[in-house]
Structure 1
Amino acid sequence: MPFVVPRSAGLPAATWASYGLTTLTVLPLVARRRAPVTVLIAVLAAGALYKFTVDGPGQPLPYTGLVTFYTVAELSSPPRRLAVAVLVGTAVFPSVAWNTGEARELLFSLFVFAAAYAFGRFTHTRKAYIRAMEDRARQSELAHRIEAERAAARERARIAREVHDILSQAVSLMIVQAEAGPVAVRTAPERAEAAFDAISETGRDAMTQLRRMLGVLREDGSGPVDPPRSPQPTPAELPGLLERVRASGPQVECTTTGRTRPLGPDTEATVHRIVQEALTNVVRHARADSVRVQLAYGADTLTITVTDDGRGTGSGTDAETGSGPGSDADTATGTGHGLVGIRERAAAHGGTAETGPLAEGRGFRVRVTLPLGAFP
C-alpha cells in the first residue's frame, strides 16, 4: 500500500529493502510441516533482524510466528514442542520490553501464543481421532470381507453336501437295480419290471431335488417357469427313503425310542440327510443283508444309529478316516466325502459323529448325537 497510496510526510519512506526483509518472514512457511522448529527459528530471526536493522514501513506482522508455533504444537514430539514453548514464552518478555513495555501487550502476546499452541494440539487430537476412525473402518471392512468369504465357503460346503447326498443315493440305487435287472429278466421278469420302475422313480426324484436346489441358487427370477421350491426333507419322509433302499436288496428296520418332539427345520433336514448318507454307503460298499436304523430321543439329545451286517473294514482300510467300505473310499476318487459330510453336518449343530466297524469284525456303525436343548 505505501507504494500505491502516498504516505504522510512525517513517516519513513517505503523501500524495497524493508519489504524484501519482511518477505523473509513469510517464505519459510512453505517448509513449516517438514521442519516446523527450524522454520519457527528462521521466522523469529527474520523478525528480529528487521526490528534491529530496518524498522521501516515494511509492515511486518506477527502472524507468521503464530502459524509456525501452531505447526510446532501440532506436529512436533512432546519434548521438542515443550522446549519450543518454553523458548517462545521466554522470548515474549524481552520482545514486549523493547516494544512498548506495557502489561497489556505482554498479556495479549502470551494469550495469542497460548491460543496458537492450544489450537495446534486440538488439531493434532482431531487428526489422530480421524485416523483412528478410518483405521477402524478399514479393519471393520476387512473383517466383513473375511466373514463374507467364510460364509461363502460354508455355503459352498453345504451345497456340496446336498448335491452329494442327492446324487450319491440316487445313482447308487440306480446302479444296484440296473446290475440286478439283467439277471432278473432271465429268472424273474416281474422282479426286473420292479427294478426298472425303481430306477425310473429314483431318477425322477433326484431330478426333482436337483431342480429345486438349482432354483434356489438362481440369482434372478428370470425364466419362463419358476422351479419348484419344496421344503427340506424331514424325518417324516424316512419311510419312503427306507422303501427305496429295501428295493435295492437289504432289509431295513427302523425304530424310534424316547419321546419324539418337533425339531428345528435345519435339524430335521440334517437327521434325514445323515440317515440317507449312511444308507447310501451301505448300498454302495457294505454288501449288507440287513440294516438297522434307530432314532433315540433323550432328555436333551437325539442319537441316530445306523448299523449294517456288511463287510466291516475289509483289508487294510481305515474307517475312521473315511477309507473303509462304509464310506466313499472304495469309489474311484477315494476321498471319503460321505463320512466327512456326516461329521460336518453333526458339527454344524454342535453334535458329534462316530463311525467304525463293529467289534466282531463284520458290520459297520454310524452313530451321530445331536443336542436338542434349543428346541421344545
Structure 2
Amino acid sequence: MRVRALDLLIAAAVAAATMFPAVWYLPFDPGTLLLGLLASAPLVWRRRAPVVVALVTGIATTWLSLLNVLPDMPYGQLVATYTWAELAAPAWRIAAIVLTTAGVGISLVLPQENPPSFGYVGLMFVTAYALGAGVRARRDRIAFLEERTRRLTEEQAAAATNERARIARDMHDVLAHSVGLMVVQAEGGASVVRTDAGRAEAAFDAIAETGREALVQLRHALGVLREREPEPAALEAIPSLVERARRTGLDVRLERGAVPTLDPRVGATAFRVVQEALTNVVKHAGARRVVVSLASDEGGFAVTVRDDGRGGAAVFGHGLSGMLERVQAVGGQLRTGPRTDGPGFEVAATLPAAARP
C-alpha cells in the first residue's frame, strides 16, 4: 500500500512538472496536455511493467520535444529509466538502453539542440541508470546474504544434530560396553566370593578398572560440551577392550596385521566397532571364543570380530544402527551376519585410511 501511494505521488509530481510550461506559458492545447499525461501518468505502473512504461513515456517525451514544449528536464523518462535499470531483466535492460538512446538522440537531433545539451541530457540519463543499477545491486547483495545466512543456519542445525547423534552413540557405546562387562564380572565374582576369594577379588578389581575407564571415555565423549575437542579412543586402546572382555571368561584373541596410518576419526570408528561388537557378544551371543582382527585392506583398513556363539540379529541388541552410522559417516562399509565357516556371528567393517569430510 505504501509503495502504491508513493508511485501515485511520483506520477502526480512528474505530471505537474511536465505540464506546467504548457499550461502556464502556452495557449491551451488539449493535445499537448494529453502528451504530458502520457509522459507521466504511466509511472503509476512502473514497477509492474518497467519497460512498457518506459516505452510509453519515452514516445510521449520525444513527441513533446519535437513540438518544443518539453520542460528543461524529461522528468517522466528519467524516472522510467531509473525504474527499468532497477527492476528489468538483463535482456530487457539491453533493449531499453537501445530504445532510450534512440529516443534521446531523436529528441536532441531533430529539434537541433545546441551541443552542450547533448552532454547535459546524456549525463542525466546516465545518472538515472546508475542510481537504478546501484539499488538493484544492493538488493541482489542483500538477497545473496540472506540466502547464505539461511544455508549457514541450516548447516549449523545439521551439524548440531549430527553432534548430538555422535554423543548419543558414544554414550551408548561406553555405557553398554562398560556396564555389560561390569554386570558379567559382578555376577562371576558373586558366585565365587565364598569359594575362591582370589577370583572374586580379581573380578571386583576388574569392575573398578572398567568403571574408571568408562568415566574417562565419558569425559572424552562429552568434552565437546565443554567447548574443547574430545579425545577419541583409537587403535591403541583396542587391546584394553580385548583384555576386559577376556576377564569375563571369554577366550578373546587379537590378531593385528600391518595397519596403515589412519585418520583419527577412522581410528575412533574402529575402536567403537570393536567395543560394540564385544559388548554384544558378552551380553547376547553366549559365545566362548572371539577373534578380533585388524589389518590393511586395499589401501584402507579392515576390522573383523568373529565369535562362535548363537548368531542371529539378536547378537547386536540395539547397537547395530549406531555402528552402521559410524562406519558410513567416515565413508566405510559394514557387513554383519552369521559366519559362513562355522557357527557364530561376524562383524566386518571396511574403513578408508582417511575419513571423508
Superposed pair shares fold, TM > 0.5: yes
Partner SS, residue 232 of structure 1:
coil
Aligned residue runs from structure 1 range 32-43, under 5 A: 32=43, 34-35=45-46
Q: 1:364 aligns with which of 338, 345, 349?
A: 345
Aligned residue for 1:359, secondary structure, equals coil
SS of residue matched to 1:307: strand
RMSD of aligned residue pairs (Cα, Å): 3.8
Decide which of 168, 185, 188 is 2:176's aligned counterpart.
168
Provide the residue aligned with 1:301 in structure 2: 300
Summarize the alignment of residues 4-83 of structure 1 with structure 2, pairs less than 5 Å apart: 21=24, 32=43, 34-35=45-46, 62-63=72-73, 65=74, 67-76=75-84, 78=92
3-state SS in 1 of match to 2:270: helix
Residues 167 and 222 in structure 2, CA contact (< 8 A), matched pair in contact too = no
The structure carrying a bigger helix percent of its residues is 2
* Distance in 2 separating the partners of 1:80 and 1:175: 82
- Distance 1:71-1:246 versus aligned 2 partners, 3 A rule: same
2:165 paired residue number: 157
Query: Identity of paired residues, percent?
Result: 35
User: Match of 1:356, as an amino acid?
Assistant: G
Aligned-pair distance for 1:173? 0.6
Q: Which residue pairs with 1:224 in the alignment?
A: none
Query: SS in structure 1 opposite 2:167?
Result: helix
1:114-129 superposed matches below 5 A: 114-129=122-137
In 2: Cα distance, 1:342 partner to 1:18 partner:
84
Tell me the secondary structure at the aligned position of residue 325 of structure 1. Answer: helix
Cα distance in 2 for residues equivalent to 1:196 and 1:84:
93
Partners in 2 of 1:116 and 1:253 — Cα distance? 88
Quote the Cα distance in structure 2 between the aligned partners of 1:196 and 1:131: 70
The answer to whether the 8 A contact 1:69-1:116 is kept is no
2:130 and 2:259 map into 1 onto residues whose CA distance is 67
Alignment match, 1:203: 211
Separation of aligned partners in 1, 2:308 and 2:147:
55
The residue aligned with 1:350 is: 331
Matched, 1:326 2:334: no
Partner of 1:133: 141
CA offsets 1:342-364 (integer angstroms, 9 cap, x no match): 22222232221111112367311
Q: Is the 8 A contact 1:251 1:289 kept in 2?
A: yes
Distance in 1 of aligned mates of 2:146 and 2:224: 33
Contact 1:69 1:113 in 2 (8 A): no
**Which residue identity lines up with residue 239 of structure 1 in the other structure?**
P
Q: Which amino acid aligns with 1:211?
A: R
CA offsets, 1:259-293, max 9 Å, x none? 34443333322222221111111111111111011
Q: Give, in whole Å, the separation in 2 of the partners of 1:45 and 1:263.
A: 79
Going from structure 1 to structure 2, the CA distance change for 1:117 and 1:325 (only over 3 Å counts) comes to: same
Q: 1:187 to 1:30 in 2, by over 3 A?
A: farther
**Cα distance, 1:128 vs structure 2:** 2.8
User: Mean Cα displacement is larger for which, 124-133 or 304-313?
Assistant: 124-133
Code of the aligned partner of 2:239: P
Q: Write out per-residue CA displacement over residues 231-282 of structure 1, whole angstroms, 9 at most, x where no aligned residue.
A: 432322222221211111211011122x344433333222222211111111
Measured in 2, the distance between the counterparts of 1:142 and 1:245 equals 48
Distance 2:230 2:66 in 1: 89
| Secondary structure in structure 2 of the residue aligned to 1:326 | helix
AA in 2 matched with 1:140: R
Aligned-partner SS, 2:314: coil
After superposition, the Cα gap between the structure-2 partners of 1:300 and 1:249, relative to the gap in structure 1 and judged at 3 Å, is same
Paired position in structure 2 for 1:236: 236
Alpha-carbon distance in structure 2 between the residues aligned to 1:216 and 1:81: 58
**Amino acid in the other structure paired with 1:368:** A
Query: Alpha-carbon deviation of 1:126?
Result: 2.9
Distance 1:43 1:350, change over 3 A: closer
Inter-partner Cα distance in structure 2 for 1:143 and 1:230:
27
For residue 248 of structure 1, what is the aligned residue in structure 2? 248
Tell me: CA distance 1:93–1:371, structure 2 relative to 1, closer, same or farther (3 Å): closer
C-alpha separation between the residues in 2 aligned to 1:46 and 1:301? 81
The farther-off stretch of 37-46 and 184-193 is: 37-46
Most deviating of 156-165 and 122-131: 122-131
- Code of the aligned partner of 2:292: V
Q: Distance in 2 between matches of 1:326 and 1:262?
A: 31
Task: Indicate the SS of the match to 1:254.
Answer: strand
Matched, 1:182 2:182: no
Q: Name the TM-score, length of structure 2 as normaliser.
A: 0.72
Contact 1:72 1:81 in 2 (8 A): no
Compute the displacement of 1:217 (Å).
1.4
Question: Residue in 2 aligned with 1:218?
Answer: 226
Change (3 A) 1:301 1:106: same
- 1:304 Cα deviation from its structure 2 partner: 0.9
Equivalenced residue count is: 311
- 1:144-193 CA-to-partner distances (Å, cap 9, x unmatched) read 22222222222222212211111111111112123334322354343333
**Structure 1 residue 278 corresponds to structure 2 residue 259:** no
Which amino acid is the alignment partner of residue 316 of structure 2? S
